[in-house]
Chain A
């Protein structure tokens, strides 16, 4: 019996610890902001453990160790002291601690602005380097330079979303017609997972993103590449793309495909994931997605291209994957 309990406890403990180390953990911190929030979490957890021990210790004491009744004076002191004065002071101290953190969490950026628009169910991402007059448009992936504070402007197209990359910082809601802002200062290069944190429709749970933190020089090189127009390999995939009218909704910068309804595909193959963080960037996944998007992401607005043959899907997907 005891053994079964202890193995169950060990199992849940292992599960809990494994969850702390994943790409979407708020405790595996990759930046200044998330580190501050993790510290707040540990302070509050430690306080909660102490209070739990105190309350249950007291409970044990009065029910098992000293069961005689308390004098009225002591009972009143316990109720007023432990029920009013103590929580007022503890909550006041926590409030002051939290308030001193807020200006840091919302400090202005060093130069780069990233404007992220929540769509059903993907992210439109625009990079505005300092002094830029037009943005570098991308989607479903956020790249940030390490060691610099980037300004994140948030808005939404139709419904409320919430932007959250737990490994990098706190979450901020995105509203249609009302821009909000936050800023992030990542420090550890690496890959982090973000997730929409406000219910936004059928595929809310499938609205994720990769956040990639890079060394500043590598970031600048990546951004220059991302800003370049599409280089289109020749082949049947290219003809299919234009024949099927993909450009009515998707952009390939530098070509006649200039649609702005769906994600920009100029450098699609260079992203680390497909369909807002839920599929790998492979030609197989691309073919599956194009064949029937709604079977992967319920109620997705992109129509199914199930009339294409397997060979056509494969060549279109293979061509898209080459858009680095």
Chain B
């Protein structure tokens, strides 16, 4: 009897601990994509600046990295959307300190961060599509 609440609390705590990390994954993918594409472009354009040699290789690389990042963020966003469980109770506010509210709040936050990260990745990937040059 004494053991049970203790164990469930621990379970809940471990679950929230992992999902606290999980809300950072969307922005993390965005950051990795941003650093990787800027670093790759800088190195590439320093090596082959003027004649537009191999530029399609760079565009393809950044394009692929963008698609992978978007897929990853989309998947994280889907997980977060399910954790928020909005369609179940249409709950925007998670003001009560119970475990369901904590659970849904973290899903809600992770979902919104995934949306921001998705837009960020699209914007930082656009130069590969529209500028298409080291200039």
Flag if A103 contacts B135 (CB, 8 Å): yes
Q: Separation in Å of the B86 CB from the closest CB of chain A?
A: 11
A274-299 CB contacts (< 8 Å) to partner B: none
Q: Separation in Å of the B88 CB from the closest CB of chain A?
A: 17
Q: Is A108's beta carbon under 8 Å from chain B?
A: yes
Closest to B130 in A: A99
Residues of B within 8 A of A100 (CB): 130-131
Q: Is A17's beta carbon under 8 Å from chain B?
A: no
Flag if A103 contacts B132 (CB, 8 Å): yes
Contact with A along B84-124 (1 / 0, CB 8 A): 00000000000000000000000000000001000100110
Flag if A107 contacts B123 (CB, 8 Å): no
Interface size of B by Cβ–Cβ distance < 8 Å? 13
Closest to B122 in A: A92
Describe A's contact surface by its main secondary structure.
helix
Q: Is B133's beta carbon under 8 Å from chain A?
A: yes
Contact of B135 among A84, A95, A106 (CB under 8 A): A106
| Alpha-carbon distance A99/B59, docked complex (angstroms) | 14
Flag if A92 contacts B135 (CB, 8 Å): no
Q: Which of B126, B127, B135 has the most CB of A within 10 A?
A: B135
Contact with B along A91-134 (1 / 0, CB 8 A): 11001100110110111100000000000000000000000000
| Alpha-carbon distance A105/B55, docked complex (angstroms) | 18
Q: Is A88's beta carbon under 8 Å from chain B?
A: yes
Flag if B123 contacts A99 (CB, 8 Å): no
Flag if A107 contacts B126 (CB, 8 Å): no
Q: Is B50's beta carbon under 8 Å from chain A?
A: yes
Q: Given A95-B126, A96-B126, verify A102-B131 contact (CB < 8 Å).
A: yes
Q: Interface size for chain A: under 10, 10 to 19, 20 to 34, or 35 or more residues?
A: 10 to 19
Closest to A96 in B: B130
| Alpha-carbon distance A107/B133, docked complex (angstroms) | 10
Flag if A102 contacts B135 (CB, 8 Å): yes
B66-98 CB contacts (< 8 Å) to partner A: none
Q: Separation in Å of the B27 CB from the closest CB of chain A?
A: 17
Contact with B along A74-100 (1 / 0, CB 8 A): 000000000010001001100110011
| Alpha-carbon distance A164/B129, docked complex (angstroms) | 29
Flag if A99 contacts B135 (CB, 8 Å): no
Q: Separation in Å of the B111 CB from the closest CB of chain A?
A: 13
Contact of B50 among A96, A102, A105, A108 (CB under 8 A): A108
Contact of A103 among B115, B122, B123, B131 (CB under 8 A): B131
Q: Separation in Å of the B108 CB from the closest CB of chain A?
A: 14
Q: Separation in Å of the A113 CB from the closest CB of chain B?
A: 14
Flag if B119 contacts A88 (CB, 8 Å): yes
Residues of A within 8 A of B132 (CB): 103
Residues of B within 8 A of A88 (CB): 119
Contact of B133 among A84, A92, A95, A103 (CB under 8 A): A103
Flag if B131 contacts A95 (CB, 8 Å): no
Residues of A within 8 A of B119 (CB): 88
| Alpha-carbon distance A99/B135, docked complex (angstroms) | 11
Flag if B127 contacts A92 (CB, 8 Å): no
A-B residue pairs, 5 tightest by C-beta: A99-B130, A106-B135, A103-B133, A99-B131, A103-B135
Pairs across A and B, CB under 8 Å, 21 listed = A84-B115, A88-B119, A92-B123, A95-B123, A96-B126, A96-B129, A96-B130, A99-B126, A99-B127, A99-B131, A100-B131, A102-B131, A102-B133, A102-B135, A103-B131, A103-B132, A103-B133, A103-B135, A106-B135, A107-B135, A108-B50
Task: Given contacts A99-B127, A107-B135, list 8 more A-B pairs with CB under 8 A.
Answer: A88-B119, A92-B123, A95-B123, A96-B126, A99-B131, A100-B131, A102-B135, A105-B135
